[in-house]
Amino acid sequence: MATIIDGKALAAKCKEEIRQQVSALQRRPGLAVILVGSDPASRVYVTNKEKDCAQCGIYSEEFALPAEVGQRALLELIDELNRREEIDGILVQLPLPRGYDYDEQEVLLSIDPRKDVDAFHPFNVGQIMIGNYTFLPCTPAGVMRMLDEYGINPKGKHCVVVGRSNIVGKPQAMLLLHRHATVTICHSRTQDLGTITRQADILVSAVGKRNLITADMVKEGAVVIDVAMNRDESGKLCGDVDFGPVSAKASYITPVPGGCGPMTRVMLLYNTLAAARLHGKS
Ligand code: NAP
């Protein structure tokens, strides 16, 4: 039976570490969170981020804009925040509302890369590629921190990442590669997914399809990391992995909820702390 990787407990430990580091700074780090529109899930994410900041002594300021505010006003706000000294990090909650003329790429490009705590700006994406990062991609970095905490070293291991999005799959593969894993990336056009996932010593699934990863697709003793957040028919949060049968076969496994989610949140705080240090707050 697999050891459950407790992301919730580790996140609490990380928050305490961040709180102590923040309290040692002479000036508080500051995070601006921009929410456009009224998507309920985005609202929850933003509220949680603000709660996390408060718990760790990070100043946060929320900018809730109506969906119809438009691209130009959004860019003007970002420009102002780029110039405000007490703001170290700027986060635009994605996705931007559909049905309006928002250009997400232009928005991400307009954030000062030195304040880009989500690490979505192409400059920081490039830094991740070459392994010279100030800001870590939050979800993949949370995964790496969990592996480290449980003494799981990716070096020389075959890691299979299912999903190739810019925010999870690709940066996850990069971080594993930087740690000397042999990495295979799978996606929706991958043929015979199970043949590949069965080769994984460490399997990371970041797709968004409930029960995509079944026990027959997992090697005995593999480490299984479930990044996804789906809902089952009763509305309960679940991942990509068929948890019960897979945990009987794996050596380590992350639960959903309580695995990658809390760790993603905590990595944003580390990035905000890193931004504050970058701006000379010590
Ligand atoms: P995304 O942009 O929709 O990407 C999904 C990826 O899965 C794509 O690369 C897609 O392939 C691939 N895919 C789709 N169907 C597949 C299949 N049958 N077999 C293999 N690959 C398949 O999603 P995302 O933003 O990366 O997020 C992935 C999941 O993680 C979602 O459930 C999301 O809610 C969750 N998530 C969780 C956290 C957290 O904090 N825990 C953070 C971010 C995301 P193509 O590229 O070919 O389309």
**Measured in whole angstroms, how far is the alpha carbon of residue 232 from the centre of its chain?**
22
Distance CA 175, CA 182 (A): 11
Q: What is the pLDDT of residues 201-210, one digit of tens each?
A: 999 999 999 9
Q: What is the pLDDT of residues 242-280, one digit of tens each?
A: 999 999 999 999 999 999 999 999 999 999 999 999 998
User: How much distance in Å is there from the Cα of 24 to the middle of ligand 1?
Assistant: 38
Distance CA 165, CA 168 (A): 5
Which of 188, 197, 240, 268 to probe ligand 1 with, by most ligand atoms within 8 A of CB?
188
Which of 187, 190, 256, 265 to probe ligand 1 with, by most ligand atoms within 8 A of CB?
187
Distance CA 219, CA 90 (A): 41
Total residue length of the chain: 282
Atom of ligand 1 nearest to the CA of 256: 41
Burial of residue 49 (number of CB atoms within 10 Å: 0-12, 13-18, 19+): buried
| pLDDT of 244 | 98
Nearest to 154 by CA among 131, 129, 180: 180
Q: What average pLDDT does range 139-146 have in this prediction? A: 98
Active site residues: 49, 93, 118
**pLDDT-based confidence at residue 281 (cuts at 50, 70, 90):** confident
Q: Which residues pair with 86 in a beta bridge?
A: none
Distance CA 255, CA 3 (A): 10
What's the pTM?
Answer: 0.97
Q: What average pLDDT does range 166-170 have in this prediction? A: 97
> Ligand 1 in contact with 30 (CB < 6 A)?
no
